[in-house]
Amino acid sequence: MAEKIAVTGCAGFIGSHLTERLLAEGMEVVGIDNFSAGCMANLEKASENENFSLIEGDILSEEDLEELLDSVATVYHLAANPDVRLGADDTSVHLNQNIMGTYNLLEMMRKKNVKRISFTSTSTVYGEASEIPTPEDYGPLVPISLYGASKLACEALISSYCHTFDMSALLFRFANVVGLRSNHGVIPDFISKLEKDNSTLEILGAPPGTLKSYCHINDCIDAMISAEKVSTERVGIYNIGSEDVIDVKTIADIVCEGMNLTKVKYAWSGGVDGGRGWIGDVRRMQLSISKLVSTGWKPSMSSVDSIRTAVKELLEERSAQA
Ligand SMILES: NC(=O)c1ccc[n+]([C@@H]2O[C@H](COP(=O)([O-])OP(=O)(O)OC[C@H]3O[C@@H](n4cnc5c(N)ncnc54)[C@H](O)[C@@H]3O)[C@@H](O)[C@H]2O)c1
């Protein structure tokens, strides 16, 4: 019988790709999503597979979690509010959705005797790291956003549950993930703005913008599956990203090129605190991926290629929906 895996946030960008991949690997997948950000269209392919079942529910509901964790071996926990900008305006969202959601899930895992969890964390747990590329054992971890703080709190909860209740975990610290179905972040933001006004593009921050690493969704999913196969640690921490960085102006150039726009004027907002895009925005982010690379995984794309591919995919997706 196929191993049964639970995926929280299965209708979201990364969750839907992961669900498809787990099904393709022959697993039985039960997903949960409250559709606050995800959508049924993302699950079109997964829904055709008889090994997939969906709970339209919330990880803040004990009843929904009890149903989700029935006879599962492993949980991939992706459900969260991933909007870094939100924390400066509403301090409760990341606390409730991310920290309380993770706590509820761990409690139900403990009650239902589910022993393995893979968690999608983020580069923002490092804050403004002085070591770049930043390795997994960098410290101290000083997040500068409430989102980063919430994810670090989740990592701490997961680690302590593992040691207290004989569980094991993988903590994935992602760079920016881009690709088909992504509906938040810099590329969808630029495309939406240019669809409304193709003469001027408002860019948050000061030129040339922050310098960050981007990873294509296919590389990200490969990395997660690969780590799951090799990790033997009780709590394994893996950075996932690409091997280079790209600035925001270059991303804007690639989006304009993809949309065949040659005369767009860039209107930089000036940003906050000497050029950050928004409060809590890290100026430079590049993760050391050598730990996972040493086990055999390697990203197939650079940051520039990831952005180029994602722009093409998202524009094709939009024209198919039009
Ligand atoms: N996309 C990135 O670049 C990136 C980078 C670092 C980490 N992450 C993490 O990866 C995970 C997935 O991110 P994503 O980009 O796919 O975001 P997403 O918003 O597309 O997916 C999150 C999914 O979780 C669902 N959800 C949210 N709260 C829920 C709740 N209480 N109960 C049930 N479902 C709920 C949403 O409806 C959505 O479908 C998140 O944990 C995010 O923090 C993403």
User: What is the number of structural domains in the chain?
Assistant: 2
Nearest CA to ligand 1 atom 29: 79
What is the Cα–Cα distance from 243 to 238, expressed in whole angstroms?
Answer: 14
What atom in ligand 1 is closest to the CA of residue 183? 20
> Hunting for tokens 């980063």 — which residue is that?
148
Q: Is 53 domain-assigned? A: yes
Q: Are residues 233 and 263 in the same domain?
A: no
* CB 107, CB 60: distance < 8 Å: no
- What is the pLDDT, as a whole number, of residue 245? 97
- What is the pLDDT, as a whole number, of residue 303? 98
Q: Are residues 189 and 159 in the same domain?
A: no
pTM of the model: 0.97
CA distances from 271 to 68, 128, 277 (A): 42, 17, 5
- What is the pLDDT, as a whole number, of residue 322? 80
177 close to ligand 1 (CB < 6 Angstrom): yes
Q: Are residues 124 and 193 in the same domain?
A: no
Q: Is 68 domain-assigned? A: yes
CATH of the domain at 271: 3.90.25.10
Structure tokens at 254: 């690639």
Q: Are residues 138 and 208 in the same domain?
A: no
Beta bridge partners of 202: 267
In 3D space, the residue among 121, 14, 7 whose CA is nearest the CA of residue 74 turns out to be 7
Pairing of strands 4-8, 265-268: unpaired
164: CA distance to ligand 1 center in Å? 27
Q: Are residues 126 and 163 in the same domain?
A: yes
Structure tokens at 242: 């690409």
Q: Are residues 98 and 9 in the same domain?
A: yes
| Per-residue pLDDT reduced to its tens digit, 148-182 | 999 999 999 999 999 999 999 999 999 999 999 99
Q: Is 242 helix (H, G, I), strand (E, B) or coil?
A: coil
Which active-site residues does the annotation give?
Answer: 147
Q: Are residues 233 and 314 in the same domain?
A: no
162 close to ligand 1 (CB < 6 Angstrom): no
Q: Is 198 domain-assigned? A: yes
Please identify every stretch of the chain with a pLDDT value under 50, giving residue numbers as ranges: none
- What is the pLDDT, as a whole number, of residue 136? 98
Q: Are residues 131 and 145 in the same domain?
A: yes
228: CA distance to ligand 1 center in Å? 20
- What is the pLDDT, as a whole number, of residue 3? 86
Q: Is 91 domain-assigned? A: yes
199: CA distance to ligand 1 center in Å? 32
CATH of the domain at 221: 3.40.50.720
What is the Cα–Cα distance from 164 to 156, expressed in whole angstroms?
Answer: 12
* Residue-number span of the structural domain to which 316 is assigned: 180-213+244-285+301-321
